[in-house]
Amino acid sequence: QKQICRVVLDHFEKQYAAELGDAWTGVRDVLTHPLCWQHAVLLNKFSQSADLENTLCAKGYHPAFGGTLPYLPRSLKCFITRTPRRFPSQKHQPGKLKEYYLLNAASVLPVLALEVKDGEDVLDLCAAPGGKSVAILQCACPGQFHCNEYDELRSRWLKETMESFIPDPLLNLISISKLDGRQIGDLKPYCYDKILVDAPCSNDRSWLFSSDVQQATLRLLQRKDLALLQFQLLRSAIKALRPGGSLIYSTCTLSKAENSDVINLILNSCTNVMPVDISEMAKAVSQEFTFLSDTQQHELLVLPEKGKAWGPMYVAKLKKV
């Protein structure tokens, strides 16, 4: 049984009650009760098992994403259930591919919004632990796929994830680096058609259950510095993007300072990017996800609620002109 960190909860109470209004009460109920959290099962097309879909359906799972989405490759298969349960996880075995990846279903939304097509050059700027990189490869076969993770420990985690899900011939075409994401724009200008910036952020779910109160207090003090890092990562990604290319910015926090404020700062300071409307995508998945109503057309914020305990997940889409 996880213990809630009171320091973090008190901090969130003040901030999110002000930012989310009445919606915060329901969100707090989900975030503070891990037993109502849900997990999605993302199938691995490189290790297909005919029985797996049947097993999932027999256990009450159904596809998370329907045919009305603007972009939904047939090869992307993600299953969810309305009741909280956890499908058994698979261990990493060298030389053997896993059949599925367990994740928060909202984590697939940034990938769907990115709309990767075969042959495009793609960068996943902050790629660990690798779930979104795996999801991108379920959708399409990029021309060049560059997965970057600056943190040494997380980079090893990313490498293991890719080895667990991607067959060797394709794995050899993927470059994995440990570069400082803030410098990639200068190192690789105009190199990519699509970029995912799944930025380091306040992870609301895990922070609430910090076992070390001192560490939690320090995190909260340093929280204000995250917005600057996120802005710098985005600015670097824009430099690395080709004109006409598009970029997704995502976080797993509810914090306005790390979400819409960062995007607004980018839009106000970079004349070569414009917002892209993703409201059709949000509308197409509104049966399975709950969104904050007070957002602009180029962004969405998934709010966890009972029976739809996905998120938090913020997604914004920009295009380079």
Q: What is the pLDDT of residues 87-123, one digit of tens each?
A: 999 998 888 999 999 999 999 999 999 999 999 999 9
Spatial distance between the Cα atoms of 149 and 127, rounded to a whole number of angstroms: 6
pLDDT band at 11 (very low <50, low <70, confident <90, very high): very high
Spatial distance between the Cα atoms of 41 and 63, rounded to a whole number of angstroms: 9
How many domains, in total, are found in the chain?
1
Q: What is the pLDDT of residues 218-269, one digit of tens each?
A: 999 999 999 999 999 999 999 999 999 999 999 999 999 999 999 999 999 9
Token pair in block for residue 252: 């797993």
For the annotated binding site, the residues are: 126-132, 149, 180, 198
How high does pLDDT run on average in the chain? 96
Whether residue 306 is contained in a domain is answered as yes
HSE-CB of 312 using CA atoms within 13 angstroms: 29
Whether residue 258 is contained in a domain is answered as yes
pLDDT band at 8 (very low <50, low <70, confident <90, very high): very high
Tell me the residue ranges of DSSP E strands in the chain: 40-43, 62-63, 78-80, 100-103, 121-124, 144-148, 174-177, 192-198, 241-251, 273-275, 299-302, 313-320
**CATH number of the domain that 259 lies in?**
3.40.50.150
Whether residue 88 is contained in a domain is answered as no
**pLDDT exceeds 90 at position 85:** no
Whether residue 120 is contained in a domain is answered as yes
Residue 267, pLDDT score: 98
Whether residue 253 is contained in a domain is answered as yes
HSE-CB of 297 using CA atoms within 13 angstroms: 5
Whether residue 74 is contained in a domain is answered as no
Residue 1, pLDDT score: 61
Mean pLDDT of 2-27: 96
State which residues form the domain around 18: 6-34+105-320
For the annotated binding site for S-adenosyl-L-methionine, the residues are: 126-132, 149, 180, 198
Mean pLDDT of 137-149: 98
**Amino acid in position 281:** M
Q: What is the pLDDT of residues 187-199, one digit of tens each?
A: 999 999 999 999 9
Active-site annotation, residues: 252
Whether residue 77 is contained in a domain is answered as no
Mean pLDDT of 38-53: 93
Whether residue 139 is contained in a domain is answered as yes
pTM: 0.97
What percentage of the chain exceeds 70 in pLDDT? 100
